[in-house]
């Protein structure tokens, strides 16, 4: 049964299988294991990133296409749901209209990008997608009447997904914690289920005959063309499929946050984050989306707090030695170097080291072991 669900693409590593099982169970039980708004928000963002990164892995890892317009489709999904809910009201029909509109827009744009741009060489295609994404971000910022401009759009979702909706009177008991069974909990578990189903569908796609052709195109497009495959058609389909999954991820993110703005879903920094997570997790593995997204977002959200806890005893040590002398100078230098304000520096160092020591990604190295 498990082999069928995973499309015969097993992790092929006992350690990787253990980590994936532990990670999926932890994310499923995150509201019970880690109560609190921040922990639940981080877990939800990890799930959205899993879907977004996996969809980009289909494009980059399995087809060999470098695109900088992937977050544009992510933003289309987010903006469509946000505009529909803000204009038509918080209802399931509004969400449905937003999803249908986003799928139609993403499908049309992906087809245009695929058909008109994939005939050029890789670097020129990457530049074209960057130009299209930049133009779309500018357009979203300028159409303030519809998109809210730089401030973005805040909207409401159906009442059943709000924190005020209690679908069970008795609180749920966790490991020493009590969690209120409200709409946010229901929204989180709905998000978890949708991401898992979408991920299994992506696994099925990359392990189908269509996925094998994509991998053949990645390895040698001229040979794939020589044996009869229309590489432009397959590449275009790859762009379209990955765009649709990215659109779904954007819609899920907007519904969870009940807000969307250009910095949330269209920023170039987000595109770089996705590219970095794909490389860290392992290109062409799909499972790397789970490992890479978790490592990246945990570091992004908790590294600063960890550095703060490390700096505090060092600062106390400076006060203990009297603030003068070589020991105090060393401690003061360490406090400045490990200060919470420098967490981005250390985040960059950590990822450079991870890419250097794991050139095949975390999943690729585990599979080799």
HSE, side-chain direction, 13 A CA sphere, residue 155:
32
Cα 284 from Cα 287, distance rounded (Å): 9
pLDDT < 50 positions in the chain: none
DSSP state of 171: P
Cα 99 from Cα 155, distance rounded (Å): 15
| Residue 117, pLDDT score | 64
pLDDT tens sequence across 58-97:
999 998 888 899 999 999 999 999 999 999 988 899 999 9
Buried b (16+ CB within 10 A) or exposed e, 18-49: ebbeebeeebbebbebbbeeeebebbbbbbbb
Q: Which of 198, 195, 163, 252 is nearest to 27 (CA)?
A: 195
Cα 348 from Cα 358, distance rounded (Å): 15
Q: Hey, what long-range contacts does 309-312 have (CB within 8 A, 24 or more apart)?
A: 310/338, 311/335, 311/338, 311/339, 311/340
List, in order, residues 6 or more apart from 146 with CB less than 8 Å away. Answer: 83
HSE, side-chain direction, 13 A CA sphere, residue 39:
13
| Residue 128, pLDDT score | 85
- From residue 325, alpha-carbon distances to 20, 62, 291, 321, 333 in Å are 50, 58, 45, 8, 12
List, in order, residues 6 or more apart from 309 with CB less than 8 Å away. Answer: none
| Residue 341, pLDDT score | 73
| Residue 175, pLDDT score | 57
| Residue 251, pLDDT score | 96
The reported pTM is 0.91
**Quick count: other Cβ atoms within 10 Å of Cβ 309?**
9
List, in order, residues 6 or more apart from 153 with CB less than 8 Å away. Answer: 79, 82, 83, 86, 147, 259, 260, 261
pLDDT tens sequence across 263-274:
889 988 899 899
Which class is 2-368 in CATH?
mainly alpha
């Amino acid at each position: 049964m498990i082999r069928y669900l995973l499309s015969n693409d097993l992790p092929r590593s006992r350690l990787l299988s253990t980590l994936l099982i532990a990670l999926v169970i932890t994310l499923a039980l995150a509201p019970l294991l880690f109560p609190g708004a921040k922990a639940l928000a981080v877990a939800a963002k990890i799930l959205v990133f899993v879907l977004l990164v996996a969809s980009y892995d289909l494009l980059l890892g399995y087809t060999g296409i470098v695109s900088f317009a992937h977050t544009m489709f992510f933003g289309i999904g987010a903006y469509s749901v946000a505009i529909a809910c803000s204009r038509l009201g918080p209802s399931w029909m509004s969400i449905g209209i937003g999803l249908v509109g986003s799928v139609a827009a993403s499908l049309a744009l992906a087809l245009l990008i695929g058909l008109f741009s994939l005939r050029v060489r890789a670097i020129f295609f990457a530049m074209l997608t960057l130009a299209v994404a930049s133009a779309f971000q500018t357009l979203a910022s300028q159409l303030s009447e519809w998109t809210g401009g730089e401030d973005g759009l805040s909207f409401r979702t159906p009442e059943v997904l709000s924190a005020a909706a209690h679908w069970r009177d008795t609180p749920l008991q966790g490991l020493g914690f009590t969690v209120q069974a409200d709409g946010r909990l229901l929204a989180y578990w709905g998000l978890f289920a949708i991401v898992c189903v979408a991920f299994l569908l992506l696994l099925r796609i990359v392990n189908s005959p269509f996925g094998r052709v994509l991998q053949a195109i990645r390895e040698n497009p001229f040979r794939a063309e020589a044996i009869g495959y229309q590489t432009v058609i397959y590449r275009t389909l790859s762009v379209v499929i990955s765009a649709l999954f990215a659109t779904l991820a954007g819609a899920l993110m907007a519904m969870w946050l009940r807000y969307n703005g250009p910095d949330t879903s269209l920023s170039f920094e987000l595109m770089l984050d996705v590219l970095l997570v794909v490389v860290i997790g392992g290109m062409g593995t799909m499972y790397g989306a789970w490992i890479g997204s978790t490592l990246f977002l945990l570091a992004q959200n908790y590294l600063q707090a960890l550095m703060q806890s490390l700096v505090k005893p060092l600062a106390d040590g400076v006060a203990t030695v009297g603030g003068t002398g070589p020991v105090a100078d060393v401690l003061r230098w360490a406090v400045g170097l490990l200060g919470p304000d420098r967490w981005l520096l250390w985040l960059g160092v950590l990822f450079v080291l991870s890419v250097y020591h794991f050139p095949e990604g975390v999943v690729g190295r585990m599979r080799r072991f």
